[in-house]
Chains A and B, each alone.
Chain A
Amino acid sequence: MDILRQIFSLSLILASFRFATPLILAALGGIFSERSGVVNIALEGMMLIGAFAAVYGSASTGNPWIGVLYSMIAGLSFAAILALVCVTFKANQIVVATGINIFASGITIFLLQVLFGVKGTSPIVNRLPAFRVLGVRFNPITYIALILVPVVWFIFFKTHWGLRIRSIGEHPAAADTLGINVNRWRFVSVLISGVLAGLAGAHLSIGDGSAFVREMSAGRGFIALAAMIFGKWHPFGAFGAAMLFGFAEAIAVRVDFPFIPSELISAIPYVLTLVVLAGFFGKSTPPAASGEPYYKGEK
């Protein structure tokens, strides 16, 4: 009973918002990219470079909000590489994204040494101001993430822009016939995903903490990808999945289970995603043209 009380305590549920924030943001980014037809497994790398840029911005200006700005610019520029090579030059999206992930972990450790003269952890920098809610500290990025969920839903399902993005992800040739510039919309969607992933990184480094640690994204970009799939490429679904995964992370950190080793709880999101993909409860189907470069004039 004690375990149950621990699991369903208010503070734990509130803490899961904090853990879920980067997942929500990056999953929303993933939705933009994949709904437009570009698989983005570089969310991990974009999150990592965002986390680093946020610390650099905060360290060099003393203002953590500049750090947030830097993180979004960093995510955007990595996304621009992905968009340029994959959308404009039509290279393999998985290959390039893998390159971006390797590049991000290399460049952040490299810049730690060049800019800060350290190898593992950056110096402490000013972090974003936090607001206390019912005994749990929330930083502004958590609120931004929560506000963005309905906003993204509105964009996708209530505006022309969203309809365009969805249509080019499902049937780019049809969208092209209707005069939609497929590759331009894809480019923009990938850029948006980079901004959101960068912001997720800022949450990790100057929202939830106050320093950059090497490899600090620690697979969260991939969990966000899992949340996106688990939520069936829908903003509310992804939000629910991100909350569930954030909750799992909070439990793994705070609760001792008698039977399940806490090390294995961290694997729950991945196992659940495989189960969902295999169609055991409700098939999860990606946008039809996701992963395929679009050549004008081919059907």
Chain B
Amino acid sequence: MNKYSNKIRSILIDLGLSLLSIIVALIVGTLFIYLTDKSPIDAYSALYIGAFGSFRAIANTLWRSTPLILTGLAVALPFRAGLFNIGAEGQLLMGGFTAGVVGFYFTSLPTFIHLPFAIIAGMFVGGLWGGLPGLLKAKMDVHEVIATIMLNHIAIALTINYGINIFRDTGRPATPKIMESASMFNFKNIMDYPLLSNLPFAELFAQPAIRLHINFFLALIAAVILWYLLFKTTLGYEMRAVGFNPDGAEYGGINASKGIITAMFISGAVAGLAGVGEVLGTHLSFINGMDAGYGFTGIAVALIGQTHPIGVILGGLLFGALAQGGLEMQFSGIPSEIVMLIQALVIFFVAALQVFKVYLAKRKAKGGVE
């Protein structure tokens, strides 16, 4: 009984800290809104209406949260294994680029082969791009932060600078458009499918401005799988043990190298899926700028979600809502970069409030002695 009440207590503290840092970030954000001579109330209500004001807004909030949930997971999983993956950006680019090339290169495959092939190829290459720093860390003791930073920039050179230039067929900085057979299901096309069009509320989705696609559900599935992996399997237990105390885990007979490489490979594959979805679902080609800093926002998402897969879903939804609502703010004359500032502030406050958590834990430890 006590075990459960402790667990609930720690979840509540985590949730409280996350909420507190969001609220503080929004309050500090008002300072920047004042600089633009607009009222913060107008700005935040525009933000809210933009994100949740209509069915279309909500659907697009889900759409925008998709890559953020995935990159958030890609940061959260290695974090549990004691690793800091700031290479989600590069893994996303490599995955997206691979999916884009597979998507346009094969012209006569049926959908049920082409689409899964493109998704798996993208996830695999993303996984390699994540697994490489894992390997370097495990075998040669190269710090994963530096390795992933370097790999991010190598990925930019390979895909955006070089890859697009060799494949592009028009003036647009993008690879050629993918085949119909490789594209992900978009909810706005729901009426084209007789089976789905009979579902209740199906007509709500049939608006051209709705951009939600199936990758959102793949992201949710990925979160559940990672939750299961982390908390219900031996492998996940080993990863968390390595993160908690690598030497202790080694002493207890856990192969730390294996845990590190696996965690980084899976994380790369998940980040790769973020890129895959952007290419096969959103842009229908690999296009310059599609990464949009998702890899770095993913760090904020993972932290606000307390690096728990379910928390990451909530964090991703929050940041997706900020991004979607930011557009509406832009229309009312407030720079949407406010959203970026709020994201950065959230990171500061989550990081600073972790210290508060350490303080709470210490106080509790002291209380035990009395």
Contact = CB atoms under 8 A, between A and B. Distances in A.
Contact of B354 (A92, A219, A226): A92
B337 A263 contact: no
Nearest to B297: A102
B303 interface: yes
B86 interface: yes
Contact of A274 (B142, B162, B300, B338): B142
Interface SS of chain B: helix
A241 interface: no
B214 interface: no
B299 A98 contact: yes
Interface in A77-105: 81, 85, 89-92, 94-96, 98-103, 105
Contact of B341 (A103, A113, A263, A266): A103
A273 B233 CA distance: 36
A277 interface: yes
B337 A106 contact: yes
A102 B344 contact: yes
Contacts of A229: 146
B337 A99 contact: no
Contacts of B136: 274, 277-278
Interface string B126-167: 000000000010001011011101111110111001100110
B151 A102 contact: no
A271 B150 CA distance: 7
A225 interface: yes
A297 interface: no
A91 B355 contact: yes
Given A98-B299, A264-B162, A278-B136, A107 B348 contact: no
Interface in A241-291: 261, 263-264, 266-267, 270-271, 273-274, 277-279, 286
Given A85-B352, A99-B351, A94 B157 contact: no
A182 interface: no
Contacts of A266: 157, 161
A102 B296 contact: yes
Given A229-B146, A264-B162, A278-B140, A270 B154 contact: yes
A107 B343 CA distance: 12
A41 B145 contact: yes
Given A41-B145, A103-B341, A264-B157, A274 B151 contact: yes
Given A263-B161, A264-B162, A85 B351 contact: yes
A273 B150 CA distance: 8
B345 interface: yes
Contact of B351 (A95, A109, A226, A279): A95
Contacts of B355: 89-91
Interface in A98-124: 98-103, 105-107, 109-110, 113-114
A48 interface: no
Most buried by A among B136, B296, B299, B337: B337
B36 interface: yes
A242 B152 CA distance: 19
B154 A91 contact: no
B157 A263 contact: yes
Interface in B69-119: 84, 86
A94 B352 contact: no
A37 B149 CA distance: 19
A91 B352 contact: yes
B347 interface: yes
A85 B355 CA distance: 10
A35 to B, nearest CB: 16
B153 A219 contact: yes
B340 interface: yes
B248 interface: no
Given A98-B86, A114-B335, A229-B146, A279 B140 contact: yes
Contacts of A110: 32, 335, 337-338, 340-341
Interface of B: 32, 35-36, 84, 86, 136, 140, 142-143, 145-147, 149-154, 156-158, 161-162, 165-166, 293, 296-297, 299-300, 303, 335, 337-341, 343-345, 347-348, 350-352, 354-355
14 contacts: A39-B145, A81-B348, A85-B351, A89-B352, A89-B355, A90-B355, A98-B299, A103-B345, A106-B340, A110-B32, A114-B36, A222-B149, A226-B150, A277-B136
Given A114-B335, A267-B154, 12 more contacts: A92-B351, A92-B354, A99-B345, A100-B344, A105-B293, A261-B165, A270-B150, A271-B150, A277-B136, A277-B147, A278-B136, A286-B143
